């Protein structure tokens, strides 16, 4: 069969790489892909952007694509799955209505409250005076979130009242985040340890993927501005067997049942960003309606069974029987980024050392913001590469990933030096 992956980041390189390993798959198209997907066997980049829904449908038709997998959130929120459905084409991902779990935080919070799914107390506002009065009455810190999609940057953890009021003013009056900030959610600050929990959902059945944890801030020690994610590892040690059971019961099943009760069929990856408190109670920080980036890179690197078989099962009712096998070894992924990210950065610098990292079964370089220029691989985005490695323990996996990073060079490359520190520290003390 022929598979199309929509997107061009590290998550999509990993998805396409894993799809191409399926014995059922002859070719994987990637729209638009990157320099990494351009070089993979049985893979072909197609110059179609992720926002051009007409061209994506045409491409799938013209190429007789059997299954399309959507990487990023924007095309999902714009209704790419609705368009493929209307054209009678199989596309794995939620419809625009279902993707509101990610594209509107006010919708997601209302949904969580209505269905008794644990999350921080909150209210949503369009009026600055009402929002101000509310934050003044809450304990600090308080969390202010733009309602719409803001690439992970629309969340402010305000430690003082002045910070909270400034965030409200910027979003509601200053037009920061445009229409995404015209409604804000104000919620209580939760304490604990974060984990990412992603499942494959067919509308009723929920098959969990391995747990993971990402590092959202740019600098070591979890400091600096928020980014899309500077590294990730799988599994997340905070998700013990008991916590896993509670997440499945109290969050994932209730969510899928709640959606069905609201008349929304959810087929796709469902990602719950969770805060796990000291007693192991999971609370939802956010939903994403897709795989995480960079969580996907270490997660799929550990997946031993066939991804395409798993996703195909979501179209014929056989998901409950799907067998999913994982490598027991942990995987760590370290993102290499362009100097200046998440702000502005220079593109077009030649990347060397990629050849020194010949892939094997235990390590791989996934590309993100790269392209080929005059026969060279050059940086073309904020997040450029993700070096992923398996190890007998998380420390060994981390050391191997950093060994790969150390062989790669371009002018202005930077990366965090402490990816996986929580998992390593936990092992050391436990
Ligand atoms: P979100 O995009 O909603 O996941 O928020 C981005 C990040 O902000 C999360 O990964 C958390 O680190 C942090 N965050 C969001 N909401 C809260 C909360 N209620 N309490 C504590 N931290 C939060
Ligand atoms: N790494 C966080 C995300 O993909 O949303």
pLDDT in tens, 224-262: 988 889 999 999 999 999 999 999 999 999 999 999 999
Q: Distance from the CA of 179 to the center of ligand 1, in angstroms?
A: 20
Is 90 exceeded by the pLDDT of residue 429?
Answer: no
Distance CA 35, CA 8 (A): 9
Is 50 exceeded by the pLDDT of residue 275?
Answer: yes
Task: Tell me the average pLDDT of the chain.
Answer: 94
Instruction: Give the residue whose CA is nearest to atom 5 of ligand 2.
Output: 292
- Measured from the Cα of 216, ligand 2's closest atom is 1
Average pLDDT over residues 119-124: 94
Residue to mutate (ligand 2; options 232, 285, 293; most atoms within 8 A of CB): 293
- pLDDT of the residue at 430: 43
Percent of the chain beyond pLDDT 90?
86
Q: Distance from the CA of 292 to the center of ligand 2, in angstroms?
A: 4
Instruction: Spell 228-244 as b/e; 16+ CB within 10 A means b.
Output: bbbbbbbbbbbbeeebb
pLDDT band at 149 (very low <50, low <70, confident <90, very high): confident
Contact criterion met (CB below 8 Å) for 76 and 94: yes
Q: What is the model's pTM?
A: 0.95
Instruction: Give the residue whose CA is nearest to atom 4 of ligand 2.
Output: 292
pLDDT band at 147 (very low <50, low <70, confident <90, very high): confident
Higher pLDDT residue, 79 or 149?
79
Distance CA 369, CA 391 (A): 26
Burial of 139 (0-12, 13-18, 19+ CB in 10 A): exposed
Q: Distance from the CA of 137 to the center of ligand 2, in angstroms?
A: 31
Residue to mutate (ligand 1; options 286, 290, 293; most atoms within 8 A of CB): 286
Burial of 110 (0-12, 13-18, 19+ CB in 10 A): middle
Q: Distance from the CA of 70 to the center of ligand 1, in angstroms?
A: 24
Residue to mutate (ligand 1; options 157, 164, 192, 198; most atoms within 8 A of CB): 157
Distance CA 369, CA 356 (A): 19
pLDDT band at 173 (very low <50, low <70, confident <90, very high): confident
Distance CA 266, CA 97 (A): 9
Q: Is 229 in the pocket of ligand 2 (CB under 6 A)?
A: yes
Task: Give the pocket of ligand 1 (CB within 6 Å).
Answer: 120, 143, 145, 152, 155, 157, 187, 189-190, 194, 216, 273, 285-286
Higher pLDDT residue, 158 or 178?
158
Distance CA 296, CA 288 (A): 13
Q: Distance from the CA of 61 to the center of ligand 2, in angstroms?
A: 30
Contact criterion met (CB below 8 Å) for 46 and 59: yes
Q: Distance from the CA of 410 to the center of ligand 1, in angstroms?
A: 33
Q: Distance from the CA of 202 to the center of ligand 2, in angstroms?
A: 22
Q: Distance from the CA of 134 to the center of ligand 1, in angstroms?
A: 19
Residue to mutate (ligand 1; options 102, 135, 143; most atoms within 8 A of CB): 143
């Amino acid at each position: 069969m022929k598979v199309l992956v929509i997107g061009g980041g590290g998550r999509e390189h990993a998805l396409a790489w894993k799809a191409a390993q399926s014995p059922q798959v002859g070719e994987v198209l990637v729209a638009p892909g990157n320099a990494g997907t351009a070089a993979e066997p049985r893979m072909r980049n197609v110059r179609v952007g992720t926002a051009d829904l007409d061209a994506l449908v045409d491409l799938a038709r013209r190429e007789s694509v059997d299954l399309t997998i959507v990487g990023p959130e924007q095309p999902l929120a714009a209704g790419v799955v609705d368009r493929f459905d209307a054209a009678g084409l199989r596309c794995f991902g939620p419809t625009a209505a279902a993707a509101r779990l990610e594209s509107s935080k006010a919708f997601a919070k209302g949904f969580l409250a209505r269905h008794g799914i644990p999350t921080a107390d909150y209210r949503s506002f369009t009026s600055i005076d009402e929002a101000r009065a509310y934050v003044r009455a809450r304990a600090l810190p308080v969390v202010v979130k733009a309602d719409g999609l803001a690439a992970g940057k629309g969340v402010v953890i305000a430690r003082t009242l002045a910070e909270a009021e400034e965030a409200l003013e910027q979003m509601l009056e200053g037009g920061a985040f445009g229409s995404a900030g015209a409604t804000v959610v104000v919620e209580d600050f939760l304490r604990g340890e974060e984990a990412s929990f992603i499942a494959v959902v067919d509308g009723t059945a929920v098959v969990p993927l391995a747990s993971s944890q990402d590092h959202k801030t740019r600098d070591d020690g979890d400091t600096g501005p928020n980014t899309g994610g500077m590294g990730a590892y799988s599994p997340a040690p905070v998700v013990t067997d008991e916590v896993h059971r509670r997440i499945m019961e109290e969050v994932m099943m209730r969510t899928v049942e709640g959606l069905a009760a609201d008349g929304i069929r959810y087929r796709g990856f469902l990602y719950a960003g969770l805060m796990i408190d000291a007693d192991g109670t999971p609370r939802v920080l956010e939903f994403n309606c897709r795989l995480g980036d960079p969580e996907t890179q270490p997660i799929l690197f550990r997946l031993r069974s066939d991804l395409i078989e798993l996703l195909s099962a979501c179209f014929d009712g056989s998901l409950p029987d799907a067998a999913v096998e994982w490598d027991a070894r942990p995987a760590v992924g370290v993102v290499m980024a362009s100097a200046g990210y998440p702000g502005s950065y220079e593109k077009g610098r030649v990347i060397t050392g990629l050849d020194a990292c010949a892939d094997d079964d235990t390590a791989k370089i996934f590309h993100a913001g790269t392209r080929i220029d005059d026969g060279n691989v050059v940086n073309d985005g904020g997040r450029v590469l993700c070096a992923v490695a398996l190890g007998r323990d998380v420390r060994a996996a981390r050391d191997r990933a950093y060994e790969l990073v150390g062989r790669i060079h371009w002018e202005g490359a930077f990366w965090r030096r402490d990816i996986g520190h929580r998992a390593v520290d936990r092992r050391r003390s436990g």
